Amino acid sequence: MQLTRFDRWLRRRFVYETHIQTLRMPSSVPEKIRTVELPEVPGKRYRFLFVIRDDRLAETFARQLKEENLMFSTAVVDRTGWHVKWVAPADRSVFWTIAWTFAGCIAGFFAVRYIYGLATNPEVVEMFRDAYKTLTQ
C-alpha cells in the first residue's frame, strides 16, 4: 500500500535507525550515538559500529567522518522493539488503518442509532408484529 507522509514520518521517527561502520574510531563521538566495538574476525572490514536513531545526527556524523577521511559504510535498519509492528506494519499504512477504523465507527454509530429509532417507533413495531403473524399463520 502507498505510504502517506504521516506513515513515513512515523517510520523515520520511531522505527528506523542508522548503522555506521568504520575501521578506526573517530576523534570525537557525540553522546547520543551508541558505540559498539565489533569483534576481530578474519575477512571483516570494520571494527566499530555506531548506532544512531536521529537522521540529522547521522548526517552530521557522516560529514564528520568524511572530513576526517575515514572509510565508513552506512545502513538504515529497523529497530527491534515491541512498538515496531504497531508503528510500521508490513504492507499496510497506519494512517489508512486509523482512518477506515474511524469511518467504520462513525458508520456503526449511525446504523445503531437508526435501528434504535426504528425499534422505538410504535408504528414500525406494530408493522413488524403484523408481518410476523402473517408469516407464522
Domain CATH code at residue 70:
3.30.70
Q: Residue 130: pLDDT band by 50, 70, 90 thresholds?
A: very high
Asked if 75 and 111 sit in the same domain, the reply is no
Where in the sequence is the domain holding 59, given as residue range(s)? 5-87
Asked if 65 and 118 sit in the same domain, the reply is no
* Mean pLDDT for the chain overall: 92
pTM of the model: 0.73
Instruction: Please give the order of strands across the beta sheet that includes 48-52.
Output: 34-37, 48-52, 16-22, 72-78
Q: What is the pLDDT of residue 137?
A: 83
Grid coordinates given for 59:
548526517
Q: What is the pLDDT of residue 43?
A: 79
Asked if 70 and 130 sit in the same domain, the reply is no
Mean pLDDT of 86-115: 93
Nearest Cα residue to 20 out of 43, 1, 44, 46: 46
Asked if 41 and 62 sit in the same domain, the reply is yes
Asked if 119 and 83 sit in the same domain, the reply is no
Q: What is the pLDDT of residue 10?
A: 92
Q: What is the pLDDT of residue 26?
A: 93
* Each residue's pLDDT tens digit, 1-59: 688 999 999 999 999 999 999 999 999 999 999 999 998 888 788 999 999 999 999 99
